Amino acid sequence: MSHRSSWLLSLPALALTALCSAQTPSQPQPQPGRTLVHAAHLVDVRSGRLLDDQTLVVSGDRIVAVGPASQVKPQPGDKTIDLGDATLLPGLIDVHTHLTDDTNFDPYHELTTTVAKSALIGARNAKVTLQAGITTVRNVGADGFADVDLRDAISEGLIEGPHMQVSGPALGITGGHMDNNLLPESFHSVGDGVADGIPAVQHMVRQNIKYGADLIKIGATGGVLSKGDDPQASQYTLEEMQAIVVDAHRLGRKVAAHAHGAQGILWASEAGVDSVEHGTYINDEDIKMMKTHGTYFVPTAYLIDWVRENGHLPAYSQQKMRDVSAVEKANAKHAIAEGVKVAMGTDAAVYPHGLNAHELEVYVRDFGMTPPDALRTATVNAADLMGWSDRVGSLEPGKWADVIAVSGDPLKDITVLQRTVFVMKSGTVYRNDLHRQ
Ligand SMILES: [Zn+2]
């Protein structure tokens, strides 16, 4: 009898415990009260101007004020972080990452990597990326939805990492860039996002959203690192891409299209995708279509430099890499000069995570962008592409307190962004090399 009554009693007790733990998030909680972040300089990314002697006021996970230090009145309980002569900027945004992948050109590596291992790799890379000053990413393509769990583990505070929008498995045609083409037919190896024809792509879009995708990634053309396909050949048809975009947009998701060849870029933009990734063979017809439709261009340019120096590609990729490397930069420079909108994406994983800000150096050095324009690709433009202009991309009241600092002036020397000395995300400090708190 006593056993029975204690069993009866324990039910509501258990329910209460479950309720309490559900209401006690393990996310690192910002200190109560305000944090004043002061530095000698702050970049206003919209105007492209360097402002002096600025204080940023953070409360909880948000920026509540920003302005000249003399105009911010300290209150009892305020905590101050003085970063001395450093320069404050909004945390950078990379709209094309693969956090659940490591740099590995062994074609069979992917076939021997489980979804659980991918998530663990992602946990390590998420931290590396955040520490490098990238406070927001889009992760574009992960079989098994390892990216969904990675995103959720970060937002639950289990691990450190940037804010994430994730795509789940990338959609692509049978035998295309998003499929697995290494094994003979008897092994039945098929990429998770492979779907052919309009009903199948509609189903795949809906299934990805069901399992947690924030955006849809598709393969509009062949790729460089995949076996047996041609970067210049379009893969999805215009009609398939139109079906994908209509469904994704109706369900509140953006669409990112991997596209190298000119025809695939044209169809992707015409179909209404939100961004063209890589864009290697972008031509004047593509540029005109993209400007008409407001399609963002995500160049992923630094990987060419890195692979040339360090990459040991499988035989089937070597000529393709030589071909795209020969034209990519000149075409991108032309498209940018013609006024196509650009958001920074890196394809990090092709080269080691954490080197993301090298991308901006290419935009300035090789594409002729001014440093303020380059900075906007990784802040306000990227935020716009993600549909997150209300929360990331600039140091303005109401936005998430995602703040980085560097030594030096990024408006004069964009490479200082490769050496971040301070990282705050959602009001929590994840890095402070200056230790001037
Ligand atoms: Zn990629």
Transcribe 406-417 into DSSP letters.
Answer: ESS-TTT-GGGG
13 found inside a domain: no
Quote the ligand 1 centre to 249 CA distance (angstroms). Answer: 22
Q: What is the DSSP letter of 15?
A: H
Quote the ligand 1 centre to 379 CA distance (angstroms). Answer: 20
pLDDT of residue 12: 40
353 found inside a domain: yes
112 and 79 housed in the same domain: no
Tens of pLDDT, residue by residue over 407-416, are: 999 999 999 9
369 and 269 housed in the same domain: yes
Which of 367, 386, 405 terminates a domain? The answer is 386
99 and 198 housed in the same domain: yes
377 found inside a domain: yes
> 353 burial class (0-12, 13-18, 19+ CB within 10 angstroms)?
buried
Quote the ligand 1 centre to 191 CA distance (angstroms). Answer: 15
User: Which of 217, 320, 329, 399 does the annotation list as catalytic?
Assistant: 217
7 found inside a domain: no
Query: Does residue 412 carry a catalytic annotation?
Result: no
Tens of pLDDT, residue by residue over 132-149, are: 999 999 999 999 999 999
pLDDT of residue 326: 87
pLDDT at 157 over 60: yes
pLDDT of residue 18: 40
82 and 159 housed in the same domain: no
CATH number at residue 58: 2.30.40.10
- Name the residues around ion ligand 1, CB cutoff 5 A: 347
Of residues 312 and 299, more confidence is placed in: 299
pLDDT of residue 26: 52
350 and 225 housed in the same domain: yes
108 and 144 housed in the same domain: yes
> What integer best gives the mean pLDDT of the chain?
92
403 and 346 housed in the same domain: no
pLDDT of residue 292: 98
208 and 357 housed in the same domain: yes
180 and 81 housed in the same domain: no
108's tokens: 């069979």
**Which residue segment(s) compose the domain that 222 sits in?**
92-386
pLDDT of residue 27: 55
Tens of pLDDT, residue by residue over 188-207, are: 999 999 999 999 999 999 99
Quote the ligand 1 centre to 347 CA distance (angstroms). Answer: 4
21 found inside a domain: no
Confirm if 202 and 247 have CB atoms less than 8 A apart: yes
Tens of pLDDT, residue by residue over 215-245, are: 999 999 999 888 889 999 999 999 999 999 9
pLDDT of residue 29: 54
146 and 275 housed in the same domain: yes
3 found inside a domain: no
Q: Which residues of 173-186 are buried (b: 16+ CB within 10 A; e: fewer)?
A: bebbbbbbbbeeee
Report yes or no on whether pTM surpasses 0.85.
yes
Instruction: Give me the percent of the chain exceeding a pLDDT of 90.
Output: 83
Query: Does residue 127 carry a catalytic annotation?
Result: no
Quote the ligand 1 centre to 321 CA distance (angstroms). Answer: 14
1 found inside a domain: no
Of residues 106 and 168, more confidence is placed in: 168
317 and 415 housed in the same domain: no
Quote the ligand 1 centre to 98 CA distance (angstroms). Answer: 7
159 and 136 housed in the same domain: yes
Quote the ligand 1 centre to 43 CA distance (angstroms). Answer: 29
pLDDT at 31 over 60: no
pLDDT of residue 110: 84
Tens of pLDDT, residue by residue over 67-98, are: 999 999 989 999 999 999 999 999 999 999 99
pLDDT at 2 over 60: no
360 found inside a domain: yes
Confirm if 92 and 356 have CB atoms less than 8 A apart: yes
User: Which of 143, 347, 366, 402 does the annotation list as catalytic?
Assistant: 347
Q: Domain count for the chain, please give it.
A: 2
Which of 386, 404, 421 terminates a domain? The answer is 386
**What is the spatial distance between Cα 22 and Cα 306, in angstroms, rounded to a whole number?**
45
128's tokens: 């590396």
Confirm if 42 and 51 have CB atoms less than 8 A apart: yes
CATH number at residue 226: 3.20.20.140
